[in-house]
Amino acid sequence: MKKKYVAINQPSAMEFFSRIPDEDAARKYLASGRWPNGVKCHHCGHGEIWTIKGGMLYRCKGCGKQFTVRTGTVMEDSHIPLRKWVYAMYLMTISRKSISSVQLAKELGITQKSAWFMAHRLRESCESKAMLSGTCEADETYIGGKEKNKHASKRTHAGRGGVGKTIVFGIKSRDGGTRAKVLPVANRKELHAAVKEAVASGAILYTDDHRGYYGLKDYRRTAVNHSKGEYVDGDAHTNTIESFWAVLKRAHYGTFHHWSKKHLARYVNEFVFKANTNGLPAFDKTGNDCGITTVRAHMAGMEGKRLTYQGLIA
Ligand SMILES: [Zn+2]
């Protein structure tokens, strides 16, 4: 069974602004995603908290330390209002091919540099660590520009096919659930480790006929022979993961034009997160504070994530 992209009617920007009318609403919304069962101390995990300054600050009744909804997340050192952070998460959700930093800057009324840094911090916190099971399809793809289009100083002079391209390994369960990551090389050691990290043992695995998958124990693996031009033979295909690559590549060429090797892993993070939250609303219009939304899922993944500007450009 092929799980297709689920088109849902996402709330409009007008609905966003009435649901999240101010900083207070944005902070409450983000807190409900970070602590779905009530605010817990960032420092010691204690569940009893004083709320200070109308909710802007928390103080732990256990350890006495203070924290905010931003503490210990990618938003910690940011001066950008929380409402703009939520709006950026909303825009990432509703833009299937994502959003460029130029467009994000216009939407939020911030500089392009701030928007670029913000978007990378959001991608850094797009977390997808659930183990996949059932029937899974694994595949690799190569992302990157053609050498002849690059400025001479940026050419890698590596001399063979795949030059300047980055390997992305991906795996998708037909029951839902996607994982993908950048690999330094597509050899047996890396591919085996990537599969084991993402898929529960005992799963049915369809791969291409790459030799790197040989000898994978703990899975019922079948190779789909692309090089012989075989047509889809019943269940033996990798169309599901290939449709994920198609979305990733359309975004690459359509929205961003160029992804540098250095930042590629974060773009991949974003699209994996989008695939895993596909079908969820960006936020709940009705004020049902228990519902899972992409903004809440995003906020849940922010715990413990940091990315400084210096770290980003280094
Ligand atoms: Zn505490």
Distance of CA 25 from the midpoint of ligand 1 (Å)? 24
- For 231-240, the pLDDT digits (tens) are 566 788 899 9
Query: Is 181 within 8 Å of 151 (Cβ atoms)?
Result: no
Say what the pLDDT of residue 1 is: 44
Query: Is 283 within 8 Å of 90 (Cβ atoms)?
Result: yes
Distance of CA 60 from the midpoint of ligand 1 (Å)? 5
Say what the pLDDT of residue 162 is: 59
Say what the pLDDT of residue 228 is: 60
Name the pLDDT band for 153 (thresholds 50, 70, 90).
Answer: very low
Distance of CA 63 from the midpoint of ligand 1 (Å)? 4
- For 34-91, the pLDDT digits (tens) are 999 999 999 999 999 999 988 899 999 999 999 999 999 999 999 999 999 999 999 9
Name the pLDDT band for 287 (thresholds 50, 70, 90).
Answer: low
Which CB contacts under 8 angstroms, 24+ apart, belong to 290-294? 290/36, 293/33, 294/89, 294/92, 294/93
Q: Which two tokens mark 241?
A: 């993961």
Distance of CA 73 from the midpoint of ligand 1 (Å)? 17
Confidence check: pLDDT of 132 > 50 = yes
Q: How far apart are CA 235 and CA 98, in angstroms?
A: 31
Q: Could you say which architecture CATH assigns to the domain 135-262? A: 2-Layer Sandwich (3.30)
Distance of CA 196 from the midpoint of ligand 1 (Å)? 36
Confidence check: pLDDT of 5 > 60 = no
Distance of CA 41 from the midpoint of ligand 1 (Å)? 5
Distance of CA 127 from the midpoint of ligand 1 (Å)? 25
Say what the pLDDT of residue 46 is: 96
- For 168-217, the pLDDT digits (tens) are 999 999 999 999 999 999 999 999 999 999 999 999 999 988 899 999 98
Domain extents for the chain? 13-125+279-313, 135-262
132 has which bridge partners? 199
- For 248-275, the pLDDT digits (tens) are 999 998 888 888 888 999 999 999 999 9
